[in-house]
Amino acid sequence: MDFDKIFENNQHWIDEKLSRDKDYFRNLAKGQNPDVLYIGCSDSRVTAEDMIGAQPGELFVHRNIANVVPNTDINAMAVIKYAVTHLHVTDIIVCGHYGCGGVKAAMMAEDLGILNPWLRSIRDVYRLHHDELDAIEDIDARYKRLIELNVLEQSVNVLKTPEVQEAFRAGKLAMHGFVFDMETGHVIDLKFDYQKILDEIMEIYRLS
Ligand code: CO
């Protein structure tokens, strides 16, 4: 990243936007009304907007290492609360990606300091699905499946919040689990059946 170019790049971007629509920034400044909450990895290669063609104002974004949604993380919980209750998003995307360093680190027996409690959430995903994962002999395939299952379990964590339960039951909210394959550029819909998952876990996690 050439820091000498940052403001030059910014001016080019402004010029480009204004050449298409002279009111672009005036309209942008009026407020946001995004339909989608996107929860993804902080990985520099997995940009939320670019890969799905979203424009400024269309995605409310939360990114962290390995797209984890710990129920005690005030940051993630506040983002979900604000997006669902106040912005009234209609869709939540949890997007993982193959080659995720956070997930890989969680597969290793290594003390990583403050990263340990964060990555423990992913070790928990492994424990929940260890029968399926241990049956996959190929390590790369197992790693990919853990990445997919991490998307599933973090989505389940989203479903454990009362505002999401309420909106989901009212048919006002849909959940989507995606994985980005950076070797091909494709975003893959994992097609998790969230209604079925919600029905299965509701007895335990119902809050509203
Ligand atoms: Co990642």
State the distance from the centre of ligand 1 to the C-alpha of 97, rounded, in angstroms: 6
pLDDT at 1: 85
pLDDT at 198: 85
Q: Which of 23, 50, 86, 97 is catalytic?
A: 97
Q: Which of 50, 100, 124, 142 is catalytic?
A: 100
pLDDT at 55: 94
Q: How far apart are CA 40 and CA 187, in angstroms?
A: 12
Give the pLDDT band of residue 180 (cuts 50, 70, 90).
very high
Q: How far apart are CA 59 and CA 18, in angstroms?
A: 21
Q: Which of 12, 21, 45, 193 is catalytic?
A: 45
pLDDT at 140: 96
pTM: 0.95
pLDDT at 206: 86
Listed residue (158, 159, 146) closest to 100, CA to CA: 146
| 112-162 residue pLDDT tens | 999 999 999 999 999 999 999 999 999 999 999 999 999 999 999 999 999
pLDDT at 171: 93
State the distance from the centre of ligand 1 to the C-alpha of 42, rounded, in angstroms: 6
Q: What is the mean pLDDT of the chain?
A: 95
State the distance from the centre of ligand 1 to the C-alpha of 157, rounded, in angstroms: 18
pLDDT exceeds cutoff 80 at 208: no
| Domain annotation for the chain: domains and CATH numbers | 1-31 (no CATH), 32-205 (3.40.1050.10)
Listed residue (188, 185, 92, 96) closest to 148, CA to CA: 96
Active site residue 95: no
State the distance from the centre of ligand 1 to the C-alpha of 96, rounded, in angstroms: 7
pLDDT at 173: 96
